[in-house]
Amino acid sequence: MLEEVKELYSSYTDKVMQLKLNKKLTDGIFGMGTRISDDPCHEDFAKALEDLLKRFEESSPDSDEVRELLEYIYLYPYGHKDIVSVYWMTTAVHSLTLDIIKLLDAKSASELRKQYITLCPKLKQLPVQKKICRALAEISK
C-alpha cells in the first residue's frame, strides 16, 4: 500500500509542476485565466488518498505498517515547501489519517509524535496538525 501512496503523491506533485510550467504570467490576475489552486487535481488527489487509506485500514495492517505509511504522509510536505500548492495540499490531507492513527501501538505513536513535533513545533501548527498531535498523544499514554 505504501508504494501506491508514494505513486499517488509523485503523480500529484508532477501534475502540479506541469501546471506551474504551463502557467501564463497573467493567470489568476483580475480573474483572468486559471489559478493552479483551482485545478481539479487537488480534489482528485485528496479523494484518491482517502480511498487508499480506507483500503489500507480494511487490510488490518500492523502498527509498523501504519507508522511507515504515516511517516511518509506526514514528512512529504516538508520536502516540498518550494511548491506551495503541493505543500499546503499534502499538509491538509493529514486530516484523512485520523482513523488509521488509531491502529498504532503506544510506542509507535509516541515516536511518530516526537518526529511530527520536531518538523512542526506546536506554535506553528495548523488546526489539522494539532488534531494529529492530540491523537498521537492520546495513543501514547
Residue 64: HSE in the Cβ half-sphere, 13 Å Cα cutoff = 0
pLDDT tens digits along 34-46: 666 667 788 999 9
And the C-alpha cell for 132?
494529529
More confident position, 51 or 42: 51
Q: Flag whether pLDDT at 96 surpasses 80.
A: yes
At position 87, the amino acid (one-letter code) is Y
CA distance 74 to 81: 13
Residue 32 has pLDDT above 60, yes or no: no
Q: Provide mean pLDDT across the span 10-37.
A: 72
Mean pLDDT throughout 87-93?
92
What are the boundaries of each domain within the chain? 2-21+39-104
Q: Which residues contact 45 (CB under 8 A, 6 or more apart)?
A: 8, 12, 89, 93
User: Given a cut of 60, is residue 125 above it in pLDDT?
Assistant: yes
Residue 29 pLDDT greater than 60, yes or no:
no
28, 35 contact by CB (below 8 A):
yes
